[in-house]
Structure 1
Amino acid sequence: MPRLSLVVPVYKVQGYLAECMDSVLGQDYRDFEVIAVDDCSPDGSGAILDEYAAQDPRVHVIHLTENVGLGRARNAGMEKVQGDYVLFLDSDDTLADGALRAISERLDDTGDPEILIFDYARTYWYGRVSRNQRADLLQHEGPDVFSLADRPELLDLLQIVWNKAYRRDFVARHGLTFPPGYYEDAPWTFCSMISAESIAVLDKVCVMYRQRREGGNILKTVSRKHFDVFDQYRRVFEFVDAHPELDRWRAPLFCKMVDHYLTVLERPERLPNDARAEFFHRAAADYRARLPKGFQRPTDGQGRKYAMLERDAYAAMASATAVVKLRQTVRTRTRKAVNRSKRSAMGVFYRSQLRLPLDENLAVFSAYWGRSVSCNPAAIDAELARRAPQMRRVWAVRPDAVDRVPNGVDYVPIGSKEYWAAVARAKYLVNNVNYPDTVVKREGQIHVQTHHGTPLKSMGLDQRNYPASTNMSFAKLLKRCDRWDFSITSNRFTTAIWERVYPSSYVSLETGYPRNDALVNATADDVRKAREELGLSANSTVFLYMPTHREYQRGFVPRLDLERLAEQLGSDVTLLVRGHYFYGGSARLETLQAAGRIIDVSEHPSVEELYLAADALITDYSSAMFDYANLDRPIVIFADDWDTYSMVRGTYFDVLREGPGAVATTQEELTELLSSDEWRGERAAEARARFRQRFCEFDDGRAAERVVRHVFLGEPIAELPPVVPLAERVPAPPTRPGATAGPGAPAADPVSV
C-alpha cells in the first residue's frame, strides 16, 4: 500500500498535462500512486493519461462517461485511493522538485498528523514566480503538531485543498466529500480544518500554482454561476450545526463567508452587471441569518462593508465603489486612446476601411510573411475554391514576391491600399504565421492560424528559456495570438504544445495539416510527374537534403561537403538541396549544381512535389521530417551539432533517440549509412513506424476539407469526416519499384508506379 495517493482531476488541459504528470513521476520519492480522473475531457487529455498509465504502473486512470466537474471528479478519484495520505493536484499545476520526499519526511517526523499543510508558489505565464503571501503562517513555531485552536490564523490561508495532505482514515471518519459547484474547496477546506485534532505544517513550496493567461481559472469567468458560493457556505454552516462541539468556529467562519461574498461582489470578472444587486441582497440575507451572537464587526473599511450588508444597503455599497468604477473608466479610456493612436499610425485610409461592413464572402490568405503562395493556407484556398466558388479569395504577398504568384491567383501587395482594404473588410484571414501588429481584429472577423510545422524546437513562450534563439517581444506575440479564432494541428503532441506556448482562447482544430493532403492523396502519376519536372533519371536514387535554420549562424552554411558526398555515393545518386527559406540563394550551391550531380531546389515553389520526387529525406531538426513521414519513405537524421542546437534553441524530444529513422552525426557516418542499406533497413523502418504513429495522427488526406467545412461553411465538428486510422491509410506509391524497400522487402508492383 503506497504512502501517498495523488488525485489529479483532468479536464481540457492537454497543453499542460504532460508537464504536470512529469513533475509527479519525476520525483525522487517513489512510494506513491496517482489516481488520474479524466472528467470526460473533450480534448486529448484522456489519451495522454492512458499513455502515462501504460508506461508507469503507479498511474491509474479513471475515465468518466460524463463531465461532472472538479469536485465530483475528485470524489471519483478518492474512491480508488489506497495510500495512507490523500493529496490533490490540479492538472495544470506541477509539483516542485523534492516535494513528495519533503512531505513524507515531515509526516514521519510529526507522527502522522491528520492534516499536513505545505506551501505553494504562483507561476505566471510571463515567467514570474511569487510565493504564497502568507508563507509566514507555515513557519515551524511552537509544537510540531497542534489543533486549529492553537493556530486559528491558518484559516487565513487561501481556501484550497491542494496545499495539504490528508490522512485517509481521517477523511473517511468525517465523511468528507466534495460538493458540485464553482467553490467546492470552501466546504472541504473549512470542515476538514475545524475537525482535525492534529495538524502540522511544512515550510516548503511543494506546488507550483499556474496562473493561466487564457482564463483557465473558472473564477475569472463572468457568470451567474458565482451564486454557487451561497450553497457552499450553506453546506459549511450545516456541518457546524450538525457538530455542536465545533460551535466555537461559527464566528471565524462567518467572517470568512462575508469576506468571500464581498470578494465575489467586488471582482469585475465574476458577476454580470445586472446580477450584482441580486447577489448583494442574497449576501445580506445570509449575513443576518448567520450573524453570531455578540459579533463585533471589523473596525476598518472592511467593517463598513459589513455594516452595509447588515442593513442590506445596496445603494450605499454602489456609491462606495464609485471610485473603483471611475478608475476602471479611466483605464478604459486610456486603452481606447492607445488604440486610436495605433489606428492613426495605420493611416487614414485603413481607418476608413475599418468603418465599412465586413465582406462575408472575402477571405485573405498569406504564408511565410508574404513570401509565397504555399503551405497550409494554399491547400485551404484550393479546397475553398472547390466547395465555395462564390467566395473571393485574395493573397497578401510582399511586393518583391509578386512575380512568384501563380497565374490566376488574385493578390494584393502588402502595404498597398488594396491590402489594407482587404484585411480591414475580409470576413476570414488565414495565415501560417501572424499578421502584422497593425492589423486590427474586428468583431465578426475570423482568424485561422494554420501554423507551418510540427514543433521539434522550442516555440512561443518556451523560447523565453532560450534567449539566444530570439529577440521577440512576448507581450506582442500574445496580443497577436489573441486574434486567433482557430489553431490547426496535425497531432495531439502539437495541440498540447500550441495551447501551452500560445495561451489564448482560440479553438484547436485537430484536422491534420491541409498541406499534407497532397502527400496522402498522391497517385503514381503525381510521383512520376514530380520527378520528370525536376529532370530526374528514372533509375536515380534521389536524396532530398533539407537542413533547418540555426540561430547561431548567419546565412545558409551547408553542414556537409555536398560535392564530396555526391562523388562518394556514386553516379546513380542525385542530391536535391533545399536551404531554409530564411537564407535565400547561395553562390556555393549554384557552383555545386553546375557540376551536374546536385540540384538546388531552394526556390522550388512546391516542397510537396520535392517530397514526392525523393526516395528519402535527409534533414536535421526541420519540421520537414513530420510531413515527409506521411509518405512512409526513409528519413535520415544528420545531426552533427545536436548538443549546440538543443542548448541554444531547446527541443521537445531527443531526435537522436526518438527520430524517424537512421541517424548520423558526422559526414563519414552519413556517407557509410547512405552507401549501405542502413538508411532503409529494418531498424530505420521500425523507428519510422513509431514516429508516424506519434506524429502523423490526423494527416489522412482530408484536412483541408475539414477546415473549410467547419470554418467557412459552418458545419459542426461532429459532422466532419472522421480521421482514417493510420493502419488503414495507403501511402503514395514509391518513385519506382523497390526504391525504398529494405533488405528482403518485396518490390513494389510495377503497375502501380
Structure 2
Amino acid sequence: MPVLLSIVLPVHGVERFLPRCLDSLLADTPSFESRFEVIAVDDRSPDRSGAILDDYAARDPRLRVLHLAENQGLGGARTAALPEVRGAYVWFVDSDDWVPEGTVTALLDELTGELERERRGEAPADVLLTDFVHVYPDGGTEPNPWRHVLTGSPLVAGATLAEHPAVFRTVMSVWNKVFRREFLLGLGVSFGRGFYEDISVTYPALLAAERLRYFDRPCYFYRRGRAGAITSTASAKHADAFAQYDAIFAFLDRPDPADRPAPADHPDRPGRPVPGTLRTLVFERTVQQALTVYDTPGLVPVGLRPEFFRRIAEHFTRHRPAGYRFPGGVRGVQYRLAARGARRAYAELRRTGRLPRELKRGARAVAPALKKGVRSSARFTAYNTFRRMPLNPNLAVYAAYWHRGYACSPAAIYEKAKELAPGIHGVWVVENRVQAATLPDGVPYVIVNTPAYLRTMATAKYFVNNVNFPRTMAKRPGTVHVQTQHGTPLKAMGMDLRDHPVAADGMDFDRLQEAIDRWDFLVSSNPHTSEHFARAFPGRYEMLDTGYPRNDRLADATPAGTAAMRERFGLAPGRTAVLYAPTHREARGGYVPLLDVRELARRLGPEFTLLVRTHYFHTGGPGDLTADENAAEILDVSAHPTVEDLYLAADVLVTDYSSMMFDFAVLDRPIVVFAPDWEEYKRDRGVYFDLFEQPPGALTTDPEGLAAALLAGDPEPAARADFRKRFCPWDDGGAAERVVRRVFPTTG
C-alpha cells in the first residue's frame, strides 16, 4: 500500500519529551499500519534522544531514523529528511510536542479524500491547515486563538489565500500544516538556518497554493513557554528572522509563474501570481513579528537591541511595497518610527504611551486604534496608557479556566456578590465571541486583547480567577486578587512538583512564584487543602478557609433540582446514572482509555446509563460510544459546560484520581474509584495521601470489580462517611457568602 503521510520529526535535546511524542504518533493506528511513516532525524542530540529513537525503530518499522554527523538545526534536519519521504503528504512535527489520540487516523482519512479528488480530476489540497491547542508549563491549555478566523470560512471547502487572506492573522509555523509533497518540492524553497526557520517555507506555500483547506479538528498539542524554546530564550539568533524574510520576498520577486517553466525534476504547478494586496499583508506581518520579538522582554540581548532595531528599519527600506501606506492609529505611529530607525522615540512611546514631541501633530491618528482590536506592540502601549488611569474601586474582573467561560467558584462568587455587594460591577473575561455567547443572559463581558479588555484589566480593583491571569497584566498597588483554584488536591501541586519532573513537564517555577506573589486571597476547600496549598503555593496571601463556593449548589441540592437535571439529560426514571470521569495523566498525554466503556455498558445492562466525561485538557473525545443492544445507554457529556449539572444528575460517580470525588462527596452519593495504574500515577505525579487507605467508597483495579461494585448499589457507605468527614467539613452552602463578605464591601 502506498505511503499516504510522511511525518518528519527533527530531534535535538528532547529526551524528556520524546517518548510522549513518539507514543502519540505510533500508538494511534494498528501496529504495522503502512499508510504512514515517521522519519526522525537525530540532529546530533547531546542526550539520549538518539538511543530512544533507535529503540523505538527496532520495535516499529514505521519509524526510520537518520543520524546526522553534525548539528544542522531544525531547518537543516527537516531538509535532510525530505529526500527520504515517500508519502503523498508531509507533516513536520516538533519532537517536544505531541498529538491528541486519534489524530493520525483522522488525518489519513482526510488525506484519502484529497487523493480521491485528484483521481476524479479535481484539485487536491496543496496545504491542509489543522486546528491545535496551546499547552502551558502549569498544565493549562488554550484553544487555538485564531480558530474563529478559519471556521466557517471558504477554507473549510478549499480556497486560495487571495480568497481568504485572513489566514495571515493565524500562526505561520509549520507544525499545523500538512503539505502535498509534490507541491512542496516544486516550490523551490527551503527551510532557513537558525531561529524562525519555517516561515521561509510556510509563507511561499500559502501564497502559491491552488487550494488550501482547513481541517477543524485539534491535531496538535503545542508547548508554550518551555524552558529552552526560542520564544523564551535570549539569543542573538532572533536576528535570523531577517534572513527568512529575505527568502520570502525573494520568492515573491520571482518572475510570474506563467513566464517560467516548472522545475524539470518536479513538473508540478509552479505557483500562482501573487496580488499586490497579499504582498502588503506579507510585509506587514513580517514587520509585526519583528517588532514583537524586539518588544518582548528577555528575547533580544540588551547589547544587540540597537542593531536589531536597525535591521527592522533596513527591512522597511528593502521590502516596503510600492505605494505602501502606513496603517492608522498607534500601530501606524510605531511603524513610522521603526521605518525611520527612531529607536529612542519608539521606546518613549512604548514606555509612556505618549507620542514623542516630533509626532504630536499626528496624535489624532492614535484614537481610532483604541476603538478596534489591539494586537502585538500596540496592545502593550494601550494597556500602559490605561494603567495611568485611576483604579475603579467598584470594578471586579472574573475569569475561569483560561477564559473558557462562566464556571466554577468565580461564577458562584459573582452571583453572591451581586446579592451582597451590589455596588461592585462584575465583568467576565472570555476568549472569543463564541464563548461569550455561552454566558448567562445579562452577564457583562470583555473579549481578550480588545481595548475594552485592556482598560478593564488596567483599572479594576478586584480580580477573581480559578487560574492565573496572564503575567503581562501586571498587579497594580491597591488591587485585590482572589485565587480560588479549582479542586481539592489529591495530586501534588505547585512548588511540590519540583520533585516530580514528569508531571512538572517544563513548568517555570519562577513564573509560578511571580503569579503567587500577586494573590491577596487563596480560597481553600477544606483543612487538607489549606495544609498542602500553604506549602505548594508559598506566599503572603490570606488563606480563606471557607469551602469551595462552587460546591454551595451541591450542599443546597434538592430532590426537585436533581429531578430537573435528570430530565435535562434525558435520564429515564428508575435508571441508575453513572458519571464516568477519568483525570488527565501527564505521563501519558491525551485521553487514556484504561476502561472499555462499551464493555462496562454490556456488563451493567439496560437499567444503567453511563455519562462519559473526558478531562477538559483532552480534545479528541472518548471515541466510539455506540451501545450494544441490551447494554447500558452511553452518553458523551464531555462538552457540557457545567460539571455541577452532571453531579446533580448522576446517582454514582466513577473516577480515578480526579478532584471531582471531593466535590461529588458533598452530595453523599456513592463513589467508586477505578485505579488500575495507581502505582504509576503515584510515582509520576506525586500524591498527598494514599487513596487505597482512605478511598471515598468502593475501590477497584479491574473492570470486573468495577462492574460488580456498581451492580452492588452502595457497597461502601462507611468509607464515604469517613471521607466526607475529612474533606467536606466546610461544605454547608455558605462558602460563596464567606468569600464575598471577606473580600468585597457588602451592604448587610
Question: Please, what TM-score do these two structures have when normalized by structure 2?
Answer: 0.48
Question: Please, what TM-score do these two structures have when normalized by structure 1?
Answer: 0.48
